């Protein structure tokens, strides 16, 4: 059985002091259900790690660079994340792709480096509203995954998490129906069977992200191929407790 995962993406919110305080209050309330991870801004990782000490909550980053060190002003390496206490890292989020030029090729490089440093990558894929209306959602997501997982072995693939995030549902209040989300997540698992094998595909967790709330979480996570959520706005509210327990 794949253990459900509730991953909160705090995006560019909260100072380190605010993040520490919020994490200390929220972490104990999420215990006893799914696996939980708070993905926080770089500057807050160490403080949030301290705040969740003694709980089962893990801490993750929202991005990283694929080089280990060097003249890359403003970037953060996998080793730095590990040193700060991070266990997870989000790769290829649609906002990184939209605003900062992230591509499937850079996601692939980052994925390899994250695995090398024993970070658990949460690899994001998803379509825009126009791409959905054009009927190319499945083809697009398949292409994104094939490129992101290029030269990733079976042994490494099972260490990863995939997040399906329809861009049109992120921060808009619109949510894919449980049927729409399940259709794409099922297609992702079918592709993993093609790329690897059935056993490997069954071990990899697939999350849904896109305006997940306490009200819709249970229905979404009850779907056969949805193993939890990558949660944006609601992860900064008390309702994340309900999402984690769903």
Give the catalytic positions in this structure.
Answer: 93, 165
Nearest by Cα to 9 from 61, 46, 48 = 61
Please give the Cα distance from 86 to 42 (Å, whole number). Answer: 9
Please give the Cα distance from 246 to 17 (Å, whole number). Answer: 29
- The helix/strand/coil state of 96 is helix
Which stretch of DSSP H or E encloses residue 123? strand 120-125
Nearest by Cα to 188 from 222, 221, 217, 164 = 164
Q: Max CA-CA distance within the chain?
A: 48
Please give the Cα distance from 85 to 61 (Å, whole number). Answer: 10
Alpha-helical (H) ranges within 153-245 are: 154-157, 178-195, 198-203, 217-221, 240-245
Residue owning tokens 């992120």:
170
User: In this structure, what token pair is assigned to residue 33?
Assistant: 């259900």
């Amino acid at each position: 059985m794949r253990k459900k995962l509730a991953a909160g993406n705090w995006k560019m919110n909260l100072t380190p002091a605010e993040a520490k305080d919020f994490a200390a209050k929220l972490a104990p309330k999420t215990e006893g259900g799914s696996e939980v991870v708070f993905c926080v801004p770089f500057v807050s990782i160490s403080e949030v790690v301290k705040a969740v000490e003694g709980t089962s909550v893990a801490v993750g980053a929202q991005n990283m660079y694929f080089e280990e060190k060097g003249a890359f002003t403003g970037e953060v390496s996998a080793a730095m994340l590990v040193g700060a206490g991070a266990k997870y890292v989000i790769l290829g989020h649609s906002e990184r792709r939209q605003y900062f030029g992230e591509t499937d090729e850079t996601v692939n490089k980052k994925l390899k480096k994250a695995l090398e440093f024993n970070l658990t990558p949460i690899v994001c894929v998803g379509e825009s509203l126009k791409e959905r209306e054009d009927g190319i959602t499945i083809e697009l997501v398949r292409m994104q995954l094939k490129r992101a997982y290029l030269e990733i072995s079976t042994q490494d693939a099972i260490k990863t998490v995939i997040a399906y995030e329809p861009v049109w549902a992120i921060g808009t209040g619109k949510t894919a129906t449980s049927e729409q989300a399940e259709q794409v997540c099922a297609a992702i698992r079918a592709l993993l069977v093609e790329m690897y094998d059935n056993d490997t595909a069954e071990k990899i967790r697939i999350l849904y992200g896109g305006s997940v709330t306490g009200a819709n979480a249970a229905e979404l996570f009850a779907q056969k191929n949805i193993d939890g959520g990558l949660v944006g706005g609601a992860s900064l509210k008390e309702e994340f407790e309900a999402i984690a327990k769903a």
